[in-house]
Structure 1
Amino acid sequence: MPTTLITGASSGLGAELARQLAAKGHDLALCARRTDRLDALRTEIAAAHPDVRVEVRALDVTDDDRVFEVVRAFRDDFGGLDRVVVNAGLGKGAPLGTGRHDANRETAMTNFVAALAQAEAAMEVFRAQDRGHLVLVSSMSAMRGMPKSMTVYAATKAALSHLGEGLQYELLGRPIKVTVLHCGYIASEMNESVQQQVRFMVSTEDGVRAMVDAIEKEKAQAYVPALPWTALAPVMRHTPLPLLKRLL
């Protein structure tokens, strides 16, 4: 079975990805800042799936040098990596010009610059192996510029999606695959405060199940969950802004 590295694995989508992939027999390389949670997750998985190997390391993804160090160390642990899931992200943000450049900058640095470092480190391993699967966890907000507190977040996810598409273009026909997951509203710690206010919200378990399905099929891109987001993607891309404002 494959070995999968997941960043931001201590909670939310990352932790649930670890649980569901472990249930399918994947060995796991898990990293995040909160090592107490990683240790608890490793213990949980070991109890449920004793044949699955789980290694954990501390990682702040905004530390570029540490990103490369951790990815290389996991590669050495397992003798290679089959998949890297760039999952770590941040949901902070404020309307531009309202005095919260700090929050917007932190989101930009975490969701794109740090994701770039993770992709670079993964691709270094995959190019040397001439095989591998890079998974970028993007968002439906990448379809269109978003207002207010979502503006910078959506911009980072659009950049991440384009990064993945550029790699797909380059790697056509080669044994290195790239998947871009455009996630809709999936319950997680990041969106706890708005879960009751948002239409189309699904549970963490159901949302991640759709993510795992797309990952295992190595889809180039997927809207997850498929319903309603596959149908809404072209609407979000092409609807005139005044109408879109009324719809969303």
Structure 2
Amino acid sequence: MTHPVTLITGASSGIGAELARVFSAHGHRVALVARRADRLHALAAEIVASGRISPIVIPCDLGEADAADRIAAALTAESVEVMYLVNNAGYGLFGRAAELDRAAQLAMIDLNIRALTDLTLRFAASVIRLRGGILNVGSIVGFLPGPGMAVYYASKAYVLSFSEALRGELGPRGVRVTVICPGPVPSEFQARAGVTPGFDSAILNVSAKDVAQDGYRGLMANKRAVLPGLGTKVIPFLLRLFPRDFVLWGVAGFQMRRRRS
């Protein structure tokens, strides 16, 4: 006999760790996936100490080709199957695409797109069978062209489009599919991306805890998309008012000012 589990990637810090706390607080048993085993074990211990169900810890680099196989094997060994899948793992890099390291940008695609898609397709059957859900962590930048972070913006556009299409396919089968699109969130993401927080962070900033809570509520309410904070809700509306060339010019100018800062 197998038992349901919520699989959360990128769970060692930031939004992922907060999502693990939120799902656990609502009675879910969580399986935590990230590279840093020490952080996963510390988070698991915290969850147990709070009286929640003991998490499954799966240290794994999702950038490796066999990552999904290893995750599936670990879940099978624990006699659990995925009812809810939370695709949170991802990173960005700041700079012009032609000047950034090519291998690092391809690795970003592997994590932000390939791994998310692989896990979604791999566990879709159990999510459908258990009538669960999929929560994909996108970004407000998925609505925008992104000179200065071209590959990252494009990867989040994929997450947005894939999530909405998947919702159309799986919704009639009783599966919730939600994409959450936060703005800048204070976390390790900025340091890894090489980004210095600017006025966008001040305007669009929502804490990782609030993003996680909004994402959980949105998934359980079967919302198509969740945009945490007033600023992020306004951006998609404003984009309808301006030509795409103007938006491209505006993003490029903002990113270049960030480069000089």
Query: TM-score normalised by the shorter chain: which range applies?
Result: 0.7 to 0.9
Shift of 1:99: 4.7
Q: Is 1:30 matched with 2:29? A: no
2:157, 2:173 → 1: CA distance?
25
- 1:152 corresponding residue in structure 2: 151
Aligned to 1:89: 90
Give the superposition deviation at 1:236: 3.2
TM-score (norm 1): 0.87
- Superposed, 1:91-240 pairs within 5 Å as 91-127=92-128, 129=129, 131-148=131-148, 150-192=149-191, 194-195=196-197, 197=199, 198=201, 199-225=203-229, 227-236=230-239, 239-240=242-243
Task: Report the AA paired with residue 11 of structure 2.
Answer: A
For residue 36 of structure 1, what is the amino acid of its counterpart? D
Structure 1 residue runs of 5 or longer lacking an equivalent are none
Contact 1:126 1:132 in 2 (8 A): yes
Q: CA RMSD of the aligned region, Å?
A: 2.4
How far residue 70 of structure 1 moved from its aligned partner, in angstroms, is: 0.9
* Contact 1:68–1:117 (CA under 8 A) maintained in structure 2: no
Per-residue Cα deviation, 1:59-90 (whole angstroms, up to 9, x for no partner) = 11122422133135325625332201011101
Letter in 2 for 1:6: I
Q: Percent of aligned pairs with the same residue?
A: 30
Q: For structure 2, which runs of at least 5 residues remain unmatched after alignment? A: 255-261
- Using structure 2 for the length normalisation, give the TM-score: 0.83
Matched length: 244
Superposition deviation, residue 130 in structure 1: 5.4
Structure 1 residues 238 and 125, CA, compared in 2 at 3 Å: closer, same or farther?
Answer: farther
Aligned amino acid, residue 147 of structure 1 = P
Shift in Å at residue 119 of structure 1? 1.2
Match of 2:63 in 1: 62
Is the contact between residue 5 and residue 80 of structure 2 (CA under 8 Å) also seen in structure 1?
Answer: no
Change over 3 Å in CA distance of 1:101–1:171 after alignment to 2:
same
Structure 1 runs of 4+ aligned residues shifted over 6 Å read none
Aligned residue number for residue 43 of structure 1? 45
Q: 1: CA distance between counterparts of 2:74 and 2:125?
A: 13
